[in-house]
Amino acid sequence: MAVADVYDALICRRVYKEPMPHGQAVALIRSGRGAHFDPDIVDAFDAVEDQFRRIALRFADTDADIAQKKQEYERRLGDPLPD
């Protein structure tokens, strides 16, 4: 789950950050093989990374989704986020 969570956190656009490109996220995960991530899990991720990318693209937030999330985030914090 850690690899999937990190991949999602890196490649998804958030109200407070832009997404990291897929290739860069994959490289970062690979660099954590044996240190931050179990080598067998990273190897399994490598075998299906194209599926991770397709799923991420399918469920990516639209501009309207991000705008709505930004409004909710700002409402909860009470401060506007920088554009």
> 25-76: per-residue pLDDT in tens?
999 999 999 999 999 999 999 999 999 999 999 999 998 998 898 888 888 8
What pTM was estimated for this model as a whole? Answer: 0.80
Is residue 83's pLDDT more than 70? Answer: no
Output the CA torsion sign for 40, 3, 61, 22: negative
Place of tokens 């860069």: 24
pLDDT at 60: 92
Domain extent listing, the chain: 2-62
Contact 15, 81 (CB under 8 A): yes
